[in-house]
Every structure is written in C-alpha cells, then in structure tokens.
C-alpha cells in the first residue's frame, strides 16, 4: 500500500460532500455476477493450450482484419474481412481487438461489427472466449459518429469541476458500451509539465493534485461502481509512466528524470487511480526513461506497479511498442528478444497490432524455455478475469435499442456546460462583454473550421479531416452568426494556421467593425503529428494580430493544444480568452462568454509562459526578486497556473486556522470566507496551496493541496471549511520515500496566508 493512500480517499469524499455542486447521476444498479470469477478463470485457464494463451495476450487493430476502411464521406464504408477475422479468432485464438478503421463508424455499424466478432468468438472457437474490444474514446465516444464529444482534458481541468468531469466520463462510458465496446483507453494520467509535448492537451495540466483528482473523477465516471453494468466500461490509465516529459518535447522521445522526481510528479495520478477507484487497466509509456524503454523495464512494470503499488489489473503495451524495442529503441537485436524482454518486464497484452509475430514468437520462447509458461498464466488470468468482470462471458452482444441514448439532448447539454466552464478569461480591460448590437469581425484560422474546436481523436485519429465532422456541429462562425445575426458578424480569415491569406482585407474589415475577435488556432495533431520545434505562435498569426490592432477593441480567442507564446499579441489585445479544444459546443460557448451570456469561471490548469524558454511551472523552487540572488528560477509567466477572470469580483478574508501545531496523524483544518463583491452571479475556485518552509529536499514555493469551486450570487458570501490530512503534505526524500518532515509550513489561500507547525 502507498503510505497515506486511504487518507486521500477520505479527503475526496469530504470535499465532494461539501462542494454543493450537482451530483453525478446515480449509478445503474448492478446485479452482482452470479459466477465465481476466480473459480471460472482457473477452470478455463486449465483447459487452455500454450497457443490459446499466446492468442489471449495478443491485440490486433481492426484495420488488420478489414477489407475496406471507412472514409469521412462514408462512415459505414468499412468492411470486415470475415476470412481474416475467422482466421484470427479461430486459428490464432486472438484475445483482443482495437479501434476503428479510417474514420468513425455509425453506432449501428459498430453494433453489427461487434456482433459479428463476438458471434465467431463465442460460437466457433474452441473455448468460446469473447473478444475484449478496446477503443480510444478519450473525450467522449469520439469514434462513434452520433456520439457526444466533450472538451479535451486540459479544458476539463480548467473547469475545476470534478462532478462535471465524472458526468462527462459517464456519458462516454454509456455511449461506448451501447455499441458493445466494453473498454476505453482513457484517461491520460500523465502530468503536463512539458508544454512543448505534442499531447499536452490530453493532460489535466501541470499540477499533480489536479491530475490525480481529475483522473480519479474520470475513472469513476467510466467504471461506475461495477464494470459489468450496461452503461460502464473498463478504464485504462495511460501512459505508465513519465511519458509526458520528453526532454525535446517530441512525442515518444527520451525522458531524463531522476527517480525522486518521477515518483513526486508523475506517479501519484496512477497510484491514486489504482488505490482509490479500482482502475482496471494500465497502458505503458512508449518512450524510454533514462535510457531504458519502459516496455522493457521490469523495475517499473513489475517491481513498482505490481510489487509496490499492488496493481492487479491488465497491463497493455502501446501501439507496436514491443516491435519498437527492436527497431526503434534498439535494445533487442531481434524481434524475438524484444518479445522476451517485454513479457519478462510485465506486459500482459501486446498491441501488436498488425500480425501474429508476437503470438508465434511467444510460443517459441516458451517452448525453448526462455519464458516460463507460468508467466503467461498470470497474464492470461488477468485478461480472462477482466472479461468475466465485464460480463462478457454472460453477454458480449450490444442491445439493439441501446443506440437510442447515443448523442441525446441531455448529453449535448452537458457538453455545452463543460465547454462553458472550460473557458478561461485571461485578460479583460473592460472590452468584454460585447454588447448585443455590435458589429463583429471574426478573423483568424480558427473561425470556420470544426477541427480546431475539437482537436485530435475526433472522428479520425488526427482530428484534422474537416469532412469527417457531422455538418450539424456549428463552427465558431456559424455559432456567432446564429446568435448575433448574420448581418452583424463579418468573417475574413486573414491567415491559415501558418500562412497569410490576405492581411489587408482583414485590416480593412476591422476598420468597419466595432469589435475584432481574432481566433488564433493550432492545427490538431494527435501524437507525432503534433510535434513542433518552436512554442512561438506561428508568425502569420502574430502578423494578423498586428494588422487588426489599431485601437478598436481587439479580443483574442486561443484554440489549440498547448500554450503557444502570444506575449506580443496579448499586449496588443484588450481581452484574451483561452479555449483549448472545447469540443462541439465550443462555438456557442465562446460566443456566450464574449457576450457575457454566462460568466466565465475557468482557471488555467497550466502556467502560460511568457517566452519560449521560460518553461517554469508554478510549483517551482525558491525564486527571489531580481535584485537578490539574481532572480534564480526567473518565474515570470504571462499567466500563472490558477489564473482566470470573471465578470464579477470575489474577495476572500478571515482565514482561520484553529489548531496550528499538528502531528503527522492530524488533519489541518481551516476556514475562509469568500464573498462575491460584484454585480452578477459567478463561480469561483478557491485553491489551497501549502509551502513547506524548510525541507531536506529543496522545497517548492507552493503546492496545490486542495481546491473547491462555489457559485455565489452578488453580495453573497460563504465560509468554506477545508480539512487536509497532514500526511498529504508529503514530499519524496533522498531515499525516494514520501515523508512529512517536522517544521514550519505556510498555508496560502485566497490571497491570505497563515503559518502552522508539524511537530
């Protein structure tokens, strides 16, 4: 057990009980499995041959079993190749299949496909073992054409609304399971501390506590209180571990990190999700840490994950990563040695995903005595147990009428709410809200495309194919015109993502408008396709901002993956709204935020850098003023983690800490008053930071230890009470163990601070 683990759970329960926000829907009552799962797994395992076991440990992409892929124009153009499928299931005893082929399918097509697969698996194979189908549904069921999509993870984290995130995940689970898919490769539990990284958008930001809290909320939403329920799925925490911290920022490249740092900043979201939510599966980091590819790292996958953390679920490799031990990482001179290394390290299921090389080599390795068959037994036991827990042995088929709930109105409203709450108002000199009769010029590359609202993993893997998006989803331009009147909204693109179209036309149109809304955007790129060499905003977009900046109110809207450097553009703008990838309701939400139809409440889940090399997180080490110690650390961001404005004002005061001398077994309790001192209703997130004044490892200036979002009417005030177990204030010491050292601490909350001592 992780030291202090259960205390985290207690705190989460207390926090959610006290939050007063909408509760997620009650889980559908679950019938407990009538079968003894362990007994059934043992009986079945005893009947399996070596070839059966190797097959169960194999996962192929559906693309390898198809004869035609779906296209954006024809989402149901996908055709399964029944001969290949039968060969895979019957001859090769394939245990698992993943993803879609080409572009998202319709729900009906999915149902037919899953039914075909499960019919062959359960009727024609020797042991009638159902297939474990998994899919990348990472911000809603993004590979089902009619499904509900939500903001990507950075946006959800900006909402600071855990209940909302849990509800969004529950919708994803319900819509995924409705087509017969019981497993999704989500959530991403990587911590976003490298803004250059191509998958930054898929993290809950730079803070460990935030990532843990949102990761747990997502797993709760996906798995509910039991994964055999017809509206839940097994979740997959990924990518264990350290994947988000490549030295160069490029995807799947070298991570250089001390073990202490790995444990302090990257391990907790995984450990917490396993301990507190019963996370069922884990996907492995594709890259190498300190020279050892994680897929070949026994110390990480077995000693740490199984031994220390006690994870009992399934560990799946990432795409082709066992092969990559041979032909990319080059730690295995042959593919066979790569298989040996990975299975020995602790991989249960190999996402091969195109052929049976892994399967055949695994059989050979066991026959040659290079791998013990008992090692396979352990992995297959976990895979079969998951299939039993999902209820697949009882019924692996989708219910025909289940598709009716997909993309329903209620889920769409939740997506709109998530989009609204995800928006972060970074700057406002009074230009916002925009009045109802104003003439708006929309300019910039993000105005009339659906892809930069959605980001990657949207109908296609990269999310770039505009044709793949349902026409019913409004672009930002459509949403503005629908709500503000076509006659009052003019659109001149000005630039593409990185090329100039016509700056002069944009500037001329700006002269004729009352307000200029410049929608800066980053083209989606899921993994390697999202690699960049420069965090600066593309020059063309910076030039567009200059061209339309001449004294008229100028509003920047930022769509995209990560904080591109906008320091100059920001200085020219009157207001700036960060929107990330807000999803299908993003156009409407952005319009309503700028008009003040609702009051923005999002808070940055990352630190917005001022310069490309000034990549310092908010919880940096001690940083003094420039005239003393030369301003070590130079923390001078454009906007700090937690920043986010409102159309009302809040004031906090009366921080009361009744007991200021505490032991490790105690709980720090305090209260603070928060008042809405402005003229309209608004939501505020109170973030609780603690600073360890002196420690044996250089302490950060502060760490987020709790947060709570509340809504207050004008003039209303509320006293919030927090309880934080002292054990939650730990850090990893020189022995890489979490400790709380005696000494003085400083509590920082709502602009107030108070000291307390741990004895």
- Of 184 and 648, which CB lies nearer to ligand NOJ in the complex structure? 184
| Residue 466: CB minimum distance to ligand NOJ, A | 22
Q: Is residue 238 a contact residue for ligand NOJ (CB under 6 A)?
A: yes
Token pair, residue 9, equals 């759970």
CA 742 – CA 95 distance, rounded (Å): 52
Task: Provide, rounded to whole angstroms, the least separation between the CB of residue 351 and ligand NOJ.
Answer: 6
Binding mask 241-280 for ligand NOJ (x = CB under 6 A): ----------------------------------------
Considering the rule CB under 6 A, would residue 58 count as an interface residue with ligand NOJ?
A: no
Comparing CA positions, the residue from 89, 55, 95 lying closest to residue 366 is: 55
d(CA 754, CA 741): 18
**Per rule CB under 6 A, count of chain residues that contact ligand NOJ:** 10
- Cα 464 off chain centre by: 19
Say if residues 452 and 583 touch (Cβ distance below 8 Å).
no
| Residues with catalytic function | 318
Nearest to 558 by CA among 609, 593, 530, 519: 519
Task: Report the residue number, 283 or 411, with the smaller CB distance to ligand NOJ.
Answer: 283
288 contacts ligand NOJ (rule: CB under 6 A): no
- 318 touches ligand NOJ (CB under 6 A): yes
We find the least distance from the C-beta atom of residue 471 to ligand NOJ, in angstroms, to be: 27
Of 574-593, binders to ligand NOJ (CB under 6 A) are none
For 396, the token pair is: 């692996």
Site residues (CB under 6 A) for ligand NOJ, limited to 378-407:
none
Give yes or no for residue 319 binding ligand NOJ (CB under 6 A): yes
Choose between 99 and 122: whose C-beta lies nearer to ligand NOJ. Answer: 99
Burial class (CB in 10 A: 0-12, 13-18, 19+), 31: exposed
Nearer to ligand NOJ, 173 or 544 (CB): 173
Please give the Cα distance from 189 to 281 (Å, whole number): 12
SS (H, E, C) 243-280: CCCCCCCCCCCCECCCHHHHHHHHCHHHHHHHHHHCCC
In the range 180-199, which residues lie near ligand NOJ by CB under 6 A?
A: 185
Q: Taking the complex as a whole, how short is the minimal distance between the CB of residue 160 and ligand NOJ, in angstroms?
A: 25
136 binding ligand NOJ? (CB under 6 A): yes
Contacts of 510 (CB under 8 A, 6+ apart): 441, 443, 516, 547, 548, 550, 552
Q: Quote the least distance from Cβ 235 to ligand NOJ, whole Å.
A: 12
What is the phi/psi pair of residue 572, to 5°?
-90, -15
- Chain position carrying tokens 């070839």: 51
135 vs 217, which CB is nearer to ligand NOJ?
135
Work out whether 561 is an interface residue with ligand NOJ (CB under 6 A). Answer: no
Subset of 505-544 contacting ligand NOJ (CB under 6 A): 527
Q: Please say which residue, 324 or 603, places its beta carbon nearer to ligand NOJ.
A: 324
Cβ proximity to ligand NOJ, 277 vs 286, nearer residue: 286
Measured from the CB atom, the residue of 98 and 638 that comes closer to ligand NOJ is 98
CB of 154 to ligand NOJ, least distance (A): 16
Contacts 24+ apart (CB under 8 A), 325-330: 325/293, 325/295, 325/296, 329/288, 329/293, 329/296
DSSP assignment of 546-599: HHT-SSS-EEEEEESSS--B-HHHHHH-SEEEEEES--TTHHHHHHHHHHTSS-
Q: How far is the CB of 389 from ligand NOJ (least distance, A)?
A: 21
Q: State the minimum distance, in angstroms, from the CB of residue 79 to ligand NOJ.
A: 21
Burial pattern 608-630, b for ≥16 Cβ within 10 A else e, equals bbbeeebbbbbbbeebeeeeeee
Q: Positive or negative, the Cα torsion across 392, 398, 402, 405?
A: positive
Question: How far is residue 216's CA from residue 277's CA, in Å, rounded to a whole number?
Answer: 6
Contact flag: residue 66 with ligand NOJ (CB under 6 A): no
92-111 residues near ligand NOJ, rule: CB under 6 A = 98-99
Q: Does 731 sit near ligand NOJ (CB under 6 A)?
A: no
Query: Can you give the binding site for ligand NOJ, defined by CB under 6 A?
Result: 98-99, 136, 185, 238, 283, 286, 318-319, 527
């Amino acid at each position: 057990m992780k030291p202090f683990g259960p205390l985290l759970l207690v705190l989460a329960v207390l926090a959610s009980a006290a939050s007063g926000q909408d509760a997620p829907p009650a889980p559908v009552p679950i019938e407990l499995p009538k079968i003894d799962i362990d007994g059934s797994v043992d009986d079945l395992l005893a009947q399996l041959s070596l070839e059966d076991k190797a097959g169960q440990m194999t996962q192929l992409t559906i693309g390898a079993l198809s004869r035609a892929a779906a296209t954006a124009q024809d989402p149901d153009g996908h055709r399964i190749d029944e001969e290949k499928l039968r060969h895979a299931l019957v001859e090769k005893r394939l245990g698992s299949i993943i993803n879609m082929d080409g572009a998202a399918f319709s729900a009906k097509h999915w149902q037919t496909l899953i039914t075909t697969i499960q019919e062959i698996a359960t009727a024609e194979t020797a042991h009638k073992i159902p297939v474990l189908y998994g899919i990348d549904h990472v911000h809603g069921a993004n590979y089902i054409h009619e499904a509900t999509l939500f903001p990507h993870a950075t946006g959800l984290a900006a909402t600071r609304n855990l209940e909302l995130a849990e509800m969004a995940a529950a919708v994803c689970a319900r819509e995924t399971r409705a087509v017969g898919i019981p497993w999704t490769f989500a959530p991403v539990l990587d911590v976003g501390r490298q803004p250059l990284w191509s998958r930054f958008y898929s993290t809950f930001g730079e803070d460990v506590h935030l990532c843990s809290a949102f990761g747990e909320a997502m797993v709760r939403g996906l798995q509910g209180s039991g994964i055999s329920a017809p509206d839940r799925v097994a979740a997959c925490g990924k990518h264990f571990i350290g994947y988000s911290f490549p030295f160069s920022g490029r995807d799947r490249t070298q991570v250089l990190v001390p073990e202490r740092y790995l444990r302090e900043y990257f391990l907790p979201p995984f450990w917490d999700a396993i301990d507190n939510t019963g996370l069922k599966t884990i996907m492995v980091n594709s890259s190498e840490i300190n020279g050892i590819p994680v897929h070949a790292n026994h110390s990480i996958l077995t000693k740490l994950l199984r031994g220390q953390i006690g994870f009992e679920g399934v560990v799946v490799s990432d795409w082709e990563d066992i092969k990559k031990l041979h032909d990319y990482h080059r730690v295995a001179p042959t593919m066979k040695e790569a298989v040996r290394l990975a299975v020995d390290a602790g991989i249960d299921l190999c996402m091969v995903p195109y052929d049976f090389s892994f399967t055949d080599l695994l059989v050979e390795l066991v026959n040659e005595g290079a791998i013990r068959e008992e090692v396979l037994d352990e992995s297959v036991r976990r895979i079969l147990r998951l299939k039993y827990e999902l209820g697949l042995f009882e019924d692996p088929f989708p219910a025909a009428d289940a598709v009716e709930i997909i993309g329903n109105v209620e889920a769409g409203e939740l997506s709109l709410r998530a989009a609204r709450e995800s928006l972060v108002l970074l700057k406002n000199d009074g230009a916002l809200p925009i009045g109802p009769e104003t003439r708006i010029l929309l300019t910039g590359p993000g105005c009339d495309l659906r892809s930069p609202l959605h980001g990657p993993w949207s109908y296609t893997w990269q999310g770039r194919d505009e044709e793949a998006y349902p026409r019913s989803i409004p672009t930002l331009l459509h949403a503005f015109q629908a709500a503000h009147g076509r006659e009052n909204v003019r659109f001149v693109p000005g630039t593409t993502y990185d090329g100039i179209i016509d700056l002069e036309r944009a500037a001329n149109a700006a002269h004729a408008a009352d307000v200029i809304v410049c929608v800066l955007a980053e083209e989606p790129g899921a993994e390697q396709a999202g690699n960049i060499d420069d965090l600066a905003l593309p020059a063309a977009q910076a030039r567009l901002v200059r061209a339309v900046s001449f004294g008229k109110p100028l509003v920047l809207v930022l769509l995209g993956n990560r904080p591109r450097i906008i320091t100059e553009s920001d200085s020219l703008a009157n207001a700036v709204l960060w929107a990330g990838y807000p999803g299908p309701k993003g156009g409407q939400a952005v319009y309503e935020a700028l008009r003040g139809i609702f009051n923005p409440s999002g808070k940055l889940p990352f630190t917005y850098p001022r310069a490309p090399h000034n990549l310092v997180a908010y919880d940096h080490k001690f940083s003094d003023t420039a005239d003393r110690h030369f301003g070590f650390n130079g923390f001078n961001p454009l906007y700090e983690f937690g920043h986010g404005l409102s159309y009302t004002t809040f004031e906090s005061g009366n921080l009361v800490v009744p007991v200021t001398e505490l032991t490790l077994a105690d709980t720090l309790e305090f209260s603070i008053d928060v008042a809405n001192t402005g003229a309209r209703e608004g939501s505020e997130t109170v973030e609780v930071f603690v600073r360890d004044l002196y420690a044996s490892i250089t302490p950060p200036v502060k760490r987020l230890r709790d947060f709570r979002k509340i809504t207050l009417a004008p003039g209303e005030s509320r006293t919030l009470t927090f309880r934080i177990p002292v054990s939650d204030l730990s850090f990893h010491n020189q022995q890489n163990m979490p400790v709380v050292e005696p000494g003085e601490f400083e509590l920082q909350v709502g602009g107030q601070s108070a000291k307390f001592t741990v004895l």
